[in-house]
């Protein structure tokens, strides 16, 4: 068995001396890591929440704008405008009228029959 690098073998690794900081410095490093770890976890949770909000924002914004439009708060309202019920009644009356019939004249000109009769 060997290592990933051809120049270093297991025998070389066993004889390798690693320089470590003094024990007091190692303890100070561990204490600092333990002190900061809860903040790192807190920041991680905050980042997750931010990512979730950024992911949901387009759909929530779309729904919010639609709701504002439905409630008439998207643009200033003109008091002279007809109420929606009147517009709806007009729309429904247009749907119940028979469709226009067209008469083709000459080179492709179409005229509504109601204008001709």
Render pLDDT for 78-90 as a digit per residue (tens, 0 to 9). 888 888 888 888 8
The mean predicted confidence, pLDDT, of the chain is 82
Q: Which of 1, 26, 5 is nearest to 16 (CA)?
A: 5
Contact between 100 and 109 (Cβ < 8 Å): no
Contact between 97 and 89 (Cβ < 8 Å): no
pTM of the model: 0.43
pLDDT on residue 37:
97
């Amino acid at each position: 068995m060997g290592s990933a690098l051809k120049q270093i073998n297991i025998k070389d690794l066993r004889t390798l001396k690693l320089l470590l900081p003094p024990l007091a410095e190692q303890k100070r490093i561990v204490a600092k890591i333990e002190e900061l770890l809860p903040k790192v976890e807190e920041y991680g949770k905050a980042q997750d929440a931010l990512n979730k909000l950024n992911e949901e924002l387009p759909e929530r914004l779309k729904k919010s704008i639609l709701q504002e439009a439905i409630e008439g708060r998207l643009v200033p309202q003109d008091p002279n405008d007809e109420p929606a019920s009147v517009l709806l009644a007009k729309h429904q009356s247009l749907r119940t009228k028979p469709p226009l019939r067209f008469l083709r004249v000459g080179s492709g000109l179409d005229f509504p029959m109601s204008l001709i009769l």
